[in-house]
Amino acid sequence: MSNERFASVWDAIADTPEEAENMKLRSALMMALKDHITRTGLSQSQAAKLFGVTQPRVSDLMRGKISLFAIDALVNMAATAGMHVEMRALEAA
């Protein structure tokens, strides 16, 4: 067993640093969308209609199935919901 430490869970489970960064961004977008759905009291069917996707797709989002979502799809869903998405790129430590 290794005592290796990671900055995030994504760093621990990703095969490459690039994959970890991609998962971090997708995770943040998914959490923001889930919070929006919960905060506004939307049902999954209502959210699906708003986002232009199917209800099972919203279910996957709510259950955190990160491997099923690309960044561009999540950005599109957020924009359709009236959310503003920002990204920052910083030098690695």
At residue 71's C-alpha, the angle toward residues 30 and 27, to 5°, is: 30
pLDDT at position 48 is 96
29-43: per-residue pLDDT in tens? 999 999 999 999 999
DSSP 68: G
At residue 42, what is the residue type? L
Higher-confidence residue: 6 or 15? 15
Q: Please provide residue 10's backbone torsions phi and psi, each rounded to the nearest 5 degrees.
A: -65, -35
| Numbers of helices and strands, H then E, in the chain | 5, 0
Q: Please provide residue 28's backbone torsions phi and psi, each rounded to the nearest 5 degrees.
A: -65, -40
pTM, full prediction: 0.82
Residue 1, pLDDT above cutoff 60: no
User: How is residue 64 written in tokens?
Assistant: 């955190």
**85 close to 29: Cβ distance less than 8 angstroms:** yes
pLDDT at position 57 is 97
Query: Which CATH code for domain 21-80?
Result: 1.10.260.40
